[in-house]
Structure 1
């Protein structure tokens, strides 16, 4: 009986791995892998630290669903958790999808829990093969909040996405050969408009190694860097 149970478990595990291996991922490819990041401002001061941990891989409706637990900590007291939420990624037909809802401010969303909220998204897509010069699809998310006589709209559009180059990037976590991705982020909250230009260096089976944000004048505003991988 024990041998039969072990065989059934092995067959199930092999099937799941085979399904997952059909996906070209830009997140950790193993459950339990934890990525540690550090955010610094334009002056080089540490403004934030967070982790992303792969917690589950599921097959649902012909898709592979990946869940990462993202935890932001106080940079002055790393043991103190500020916010924690789950980010969803999908893969179907070897196309990798990033759920645009990850761009929502979770603390802000808590303030809308008793209001009528409508969310519309167009997810970011990564095809199975990237190469310099490749144009990528746009992504967007819009949020309509209704609270009696008061209504508020929030939108974020990620446009002009392009694979710029293949480059080696070194961080405290190691040296990686990465795809350099550029994009423009345009956000609007009510009458307030914010524009950023982002550059990210990503690698298969891990994710973002480094990213930089610049304001609309081209001045650097923040840098996020992978500092440790725990497997």
Structure 2
């Protein structure tokens, strides 16, 4: 009898451990899924659009790596591609990580291909269970470029990340159960500093449903929202 109880206890502990190791992702979970987004100014004028398509899901060591193709379209022509980047997301243990490399403009970085470029990142992440009032880990990326007489650096810090609430969000793509998050972004290029605040609604197994950007004075400057999902 004691042996049976001992085995049951082990199974319960193992089950709880497995649950604790589950990673909740905030991107699509099916390869080939496309998310279509529209960007507007505070008055609703369309400024551009982009798509994100899940290309692959691969296991490497103790991580699961998700690769997505990010395609930015011209605001004046929905068929004209301005830029394409591959962005990476990771699951490790019970945490979901967003690669801070996505804050790099690869097209701009091509101008420095013959220079020495150093990139230091501290990726942002989401624990398995989010709850209103929860504070989240900061993230950052610093790019240092050395090219003889021409040395420069770019830094982006994402701070004060917080789960504000749990609520539904309506967009042209449908109604989604979301976590509402807030964060501050400070970008520095040389002597130029830019500070902004983002409010973001994210949904499990989909990703960003809507985001709003505010300047340092608290004025709304732009809106991005999910308008279509293609599977």
**2-structure distance, mates of 1:151, 1:86:** 27
Q: Report if the CA contact (8 A) 2:39-2:225 is conserved.
A: yes
Give the Å deviation of 1:150.
1.4
Give the Å deviation of 1:56.
0.2
Partner of 1:72: 72
Give the Å deviation of 1:58.
0.4
Give the Å deviation of 1:46.
0.7
Partner of 1:193: 193
**1-structure distance, mates of 2:216, 2:38:** 23
Partner of 2:143: 143
Partner of 1:216: 216
Give the Å deviation of 1:104.
1.0
**1-structure distance, mates of 2:22, 2:165:** 25
Give the Å deviation of 1:113.
1.1
Give the Å deviation of 1:174.
0.1
Q: Report if the CA contact (8 A) 2:37-2:51 is conserved.
A: yes
**Structure 1 stretches lacking a partner, 5+ long:** 1-20
Give the Å deviation of 1:212.
0.4
Partner of 1:107: 107
Partner of 1:23: 23
Poorly superposed stretches of 4+, deviation over 6 Å: none
**2-structure distance, mates of 1:47, 1:116:** 34
Cα deviations across residues 117-157 of structure 1 (Å, max 9, x unaligned)? 00000000100000100000000000001111111011000
Partner of 1:121: 121
**2-structure distance, mates of 1:114, 1:182:** 38
Q: CA RMSD in A?
A: 1.0
Partner of 1:37: 37
Give the Å deviation of 1:79.
1.5
Give the Å deviation of 1:73.
1.0
Q: How many residues align?
A: 211
**1-structure distance, mates of 2:202, 2:27:** 9
**Structure 2 stretches lacking a partner, 5+ long:** 1-20
**1-structure distance, mates of 2:181, 2:114:** 38
**Under a length normalisation based on structure 1, what TM-score does the superposition of the two structures give?**
0.89
**2-structure distance, mates of 1:92, 1:189:** 32
**Under a length normalisation based on structure 2, what TM-score does the superposition of the two structures give?**
0.89
**2-structure distance, mates of 1:150, 1:25:** 41
